[in-house]
Amino acid sequence: ADSPQNMLSFAEQHGFEFAYLVDEDQQVAKQYGAVCTPDFFGFNYLGELQYRGRLDDARLQDAPNREPELLQAMQMIAAIGKGPKQQTASMGCSIKWR
């Protein structure tokens, strides 16, 4: 479901206008020190890392009132160029390195 071709269709269907990287040789993930999937990285307009954390606080449940931490962080970065001081690391499956 998350193949590059399916992601293109998904992005078009949902009107995404941001870049999506297909890291075929895993070099980008290694350079940023990614450890699990998903592992979110948010940058400001200067390319400086401002957020490294989880998508939301739902954990492994489908919580109806989840806190959208990544969205809030990216809105903050867009507004002031800096991410939140408090960030919670992502949890997920470990990356299967080639």
Mean pLDDT, the chain, whole residue set: 91
Average pLDDT over residues 14-32: 90
Report domain extents, the chain. 23-94
In DSSP terms, 33 is beta-bridged to none
pLDDT higher than 90, residue 20: no
Average pLDDT over residues 38-63: 89
Distance between CA atoms of 85 and 53, rounded to whole angstroms? Answer: 11
pLDDT band at 84 (very low <50, low <70, confident <90, very high): very high
Give domain 23-94's CATH superfamily: Glutaredoxin (3.40.30.10)
Place of tokens 């078009």: 12
Instruction: Provide the sign of the torsion angle of the four alpha carbons 1, 26, 19, 68, taken in this order.
Output: positive
Distance between CA atoms of 14 and 49, rounded to whole angstroms? Answer: 26
pLDDT band at 79 (very low <50, low <70, confident <90, very high): very high
Q: Which amino acid is at 35?
A: V
Q: Which two tokens stand for residue 15?
A: 């009107």
Q: What pTM value is reported for the model?
A: 0.79
